[in-house]
Amino acid sequence: MRDVGGLPTRDGGATVPGRLIRSDNLQDLTEADVTRLVEDLGVTDVVDLRTETELHLEGDGPLRRLESLTHHHHSLLPARAPESADEVAARALALPRRERDRSPAFWSEHYLGYLAKRPDSVAAALAAVARARGAAVVHCAAGKDRTGTVVAMALDVAGVPHEEIVADYVLSGERIEAIIARVAGTDSQGPVLRDQDVADQTPRAESMQAILDAVEDGWGGAEGWLRAQGWSADDVGALRDRLTRA
């Protein structure tokens, strides 16, 4: 988990701390962690990017029990009925070898798939960040792929240079072994991750650079992409101000 405040913007400013926090799964938060997030850091909104199956198998985490927080669930994968642990395991075994390859090209294609197949969820997640009363936590399972895509779009709207967005993305690599060890122990992710090396899951700069380039080439940046989803100039401005205006 880390706050993306303090990143430079192209106009000479910086993103404001305490507005957007990115994280992996929140299931293992301790009571002290919850107090730190809510009382010290002022978290008011949680944006959960996991699938219906992940929510079903992992259950409610400690933050879900707090009525003071607003929870937003926006899966970035195609909607499907929640699966059992046995169904998840069977599907993982049936994956073709090519779909088990986790090259940088695989990840960039995967991230662009979020934008193509679930633009509604990406836009809704960003809207939740823009409208949050306090700090918003955006998370998925490992906190690098789905979370990385949404955070990258937010930072692009805020005017953070691409090289800084890429640097924030690869920063998850510093904790990747611990992250994957935790996620591999879950029924929803374990069957796929247990057959992969940690290196396959390590975030590479070229993966994020590819999606930033594609969004730039196709829509002139994240702002243009959001406008194509029906956002107004004021909507985009609200997200930018939320991330950059103290």
Predicted pLDDT at 93? 60
Which amino acid, 163?
E
Would 85 be classed as within a structural domain?
A: no
Would 84 be classed as within a structural domain?
A: no
Predicted pLDDT at 187? 84
Would 89 be classed as within a structural domain?
A: no
- Residues forming beta bridges with residue 71, ordered by sequence position: 46
Strands of the sheet containing 135-139, edge to edge, are 2-3, 20-23, 135-139, 43-48, 70-73
The pLDDT tens digits along the chain (246 residues) read 999 999 999 999 999 999 999 999 999 999 999 999 999 999 999 999 999 999 988 888 899 989 999 999 999 998 776 777 666 666 656 666 555 556 778 888 889 999 999 999 999 999 999 999 999 999 999 999 999 999 999 999 999 999 999 999 999 999 999 999 998 888 878 887 877 788 888 999 999 999 999 999 999 999 999 999 999 999 999 999 999 999
Would 26 be classed as within a structural domain?
A: yes
Query: 147 is written with which tokens?
Result: 């979370």
Query: 207 is written with which tokens?
Result: 């993966």
Would 95 be classed as within a structural domain?
A: no
Q: 171: buried, middle or exposed (CB in 10 Å: 19+, 13-18, 0-12)? A: middle
Sign of CA dihedral 12, 16, 17, 20: negative
How many domains does the chain divide into?
A: 1
Entry pTM: 0.92
Would 90 be classed as within a structural domain?
A: no
Three-point CA angle 126, 130, 136, nearest 5°: 80
**Domain extent for 236:** 2-79+102-244
Would 93 be classed as within a structural domain?
A: no
Residue matched to tokens 């789905």: 146
Residue positions counted in the chain: 246
Predicted pLDDT at 95? 65
Would 87 be classed as within a structural domain?
A: no
H, E, C per residue of the chain: CEECCCCECCCCCECCCCCEEEECCCCCCCHHHHHHHHHHCCEEEEEECCCHHHHHHHCCCHHHHCCCCEEEECCCCCCCCCCCHHHHHHHHHCCCHHHHCCCHHHHHHHHHHHHHHCHHHHHHHHHHHHHCCCEEEEECCCCCCHHHHHHHHHHHHHCCCHHHHHHHHHHHHHHHHHHHHHHCCCCCCHHHHCCCCHHHHCCCHHHHHHHHHHHHHHHCCHHHHHHHCCCCHHHHHHHHHHHHCC
CATH number for position 28: 3.90.190.10
